[in-house]
Structures are given as C-alpha cells and as structure tokens.
Amino acid sequence: MSSISTGRMIDDSSDPVKGRVAWAPAKSIWITAMTLIAVIGGPLTFSWSALAVFILSTGITICLGHSVGMHRLLIHRSFNTPLWIEHILVYLGTLVGMAGPFGMIYAHDIRDWAQRQRDCHDLYAHRRSFLVDAYWQKHCVVVLDHPPRFVIEERVRNDRFYRFLEATWMAQQLPLALALVLLALGGLPWLVWGIAVRISVSLTGHWLVGHFAHRGGHQGWSVDHVAVQGYNLPRFGLVTFGESFHGNHHAFPESARLGIEPGQLDLGWHFIRLLAGLRLASAIKLPHMIAPREGLRRVEMSGEASEGHLVGQR
C-alpha cells in the first residue's frame, strides 16, 4: 500500500482492512433523536413557512457550510479566504449537525486514506447492502486493529474558535433554535423543521450520496490500484450543491470546482466565484493546476466531453 495517502493520515504500517465495526453511542443517539423528532413532529407541525425555513436553512448550511466551508476550504484547502470568512463558513458547516471541525476532518481523511489503498474495510467502501450500510454509516465507526496516525495542521488545531466548536458542536443548535422560536413568536413548526427535519435530512442525504457515489454510475475518470472508485450522480448536482460529482472529486480532490464537465451544475463553485469577485477568495485550485493523482485515467464516454473539453481547463 502507499506510504502516505492524505496530508493528515500518516501510514506507519497501518492496515485499512482489519478491524471491527463498533456502535458509536453519541453519534447514534443524536441521529436517532433528530430523525424521530422529524418523522413524528414534522407532519404534525407542517406549515408553508416552516417548509420555507427548512429549505433556506438547509441550503445555507449544506452549500456554504458543509460543501464550501468544511469540505473544499477546511479539509482540502482548495482556495484561500480571510480567516473571519473561514470561521463563518465552518460554523455554518457545524450547524449541519454531523460533527465539529476536527471530527469532520478526521471522518473525511480516514475514509479517503482507506479508499486510496489497494483494499479497505467494507464500511469505508460502502460495500454492504443498503440497510447494513445505512446502519454502519449513521450509527457506527470502524475500530481498526492498526490505524494510521492522524495529525491536524497546527494552524487549525490551535485555532480557539475551532476548538470551541469541536467541544460544543451539538449545542450549537441551541442559539439557532432560540432564534427560530423568537422569529416565529414561539412557533413550534419553525423549531422542528429548522432543526430536527433539517439535520435528519442533511445527514441522510450525506449518507445517500456517499453510498451511491462509491458503488457505480457515471464515471469520467478512474484511478488505478485503489480500493474504491468515485462516481458522479449527475441528476443530484443541484440539491447537493455539487457534492454529487464524486467521481470528479476522486480525480481532483483539491479542486475548488466539483462540477468540472460541461452541464454539471455546481452551486458551491458559483459561491466561491462570488467570493472571488468580491476579492474575498484567492489561490483557487482547478483541475489543470493540480498534479494528477498516480494512476488517474480518463474514462471514454460516448456523447460526453473529451479530456480537452474539461471546464476546469478553460
């Protein structure tokens, strides 16, 4: 296997296959509670204004927070922005309700490290059936017999704001919940739809993209000698704000643009372009600026763009 897979995962003769799946109590109880409140309380408290709050808050936290702030900026450093904007975006990503900034970095990096090896545990590869994978991904973790060392870069791990978010990431829903109650003059629908429904839908959607984007579909690129390939889910580009173009992301992990082929809608990229237009984003990385991954190959697709027509190369 390769000696180093990601910048924070250091492979010291570690093994990405041997390990056990263990129930993660805090993660499981959190997801179960949000889902039960959403399933039971959602229909009972439905209103059109609550639905609007759900759509708006989900769009902001998933697009600006998770996709741009957590994934493209904090994890992959695909562009630079002033620290105060970075903090706002990462805070919005924390409101998604998945984990704090350090937890998100680790969850992403351990999965990517494992998938880049020649073989990896079934949980990291999403190999099991739909229901088993749902349970594993949403309620469990892999405890590897020989895990890699994990080291977050000093600037991030010493950031007081990130340390605060990591220690209180579940509690960060409380200020938003209070604001929703006050704005709705004490209305329960906004609270249920703006917190529980949003979190349960966001976490379920995140798992669904991970499940299907690692099992098959549209593939413009492949990587030789790795355990898991990435695939694009073109029909879901809009609702995932570009995150469903996972085959592109496997090919060019550091690219700020995920929808790199013609016709691939990537709203996260358009927000980064807006920041750049306001001179609030710089050093933006695109596929033609990134050293190709070892073993990266173009997959021929009839009716699709050829390699020379990559949007990111224009």
Give residue 205's pLDDT band: very low, low, confident or very high (50, 70, 90).
very high
Instruction: Report pLDDT for 308.
Output: 42
Instruction: Report pLDDT for 310.
Output: 52
> Does 306 have pLDDT greater than 60?
no
Report the candidate in 242, 286, 298, 291 with the shortest Cα–Cα distance to residue 265.
Answer: 242
Instruction: Report pLDDT for 1.
Output: 35
Q: Evaluate whether residue 207 is within a structural domain.
A: yes
Residue 217: what residue type? G
Q: Evaluate whether residue 2 is within a structural domain.
A: no
- What mean pLDDT is predicted for residues 203-207? 97
C-alpha span between 265 and 251 (Å, rounded): 18
Q: Evaluate whether residue 127 is within a structural domain.
A: yes
C-alpha span between 268 and 271 (Å, rounded): 5
Q: What residues make up the domain containing 99?
A: 9-313
Q: Evaluate whether residue 90 is within a structural domain.
A: yes
Give residue 7's pLDDT band: very low, low, confident or very high (50, 70, 90).
low
Give residue 312's pLDDT band: very low, low, confident or very high (50, 70, 90).
very low
Q: Evaluate whether residue 57 is within a structural domain.
A: yes
Which residues, at least 6 apart from 241, have a Cβ–Cβ distance to it below 8 Å? 59, 62, 63, 67, 266, 267, 268
> Does 305 have pLDDT greater than 60?
no
C-alpha span between 262 and 266 (Å, rounded): 11
Q: Evaluate whether residue 173 is within a structural domain.
A: yes
Q: Evaluate whether residue 3 is within a structural domain.
A: no
Total structural domains within the chain: 1
- What mean pLDDT is predicted for residues 122-141? 97
Q: Evaluate whether residue 124 is within a structural domain.
A: yes
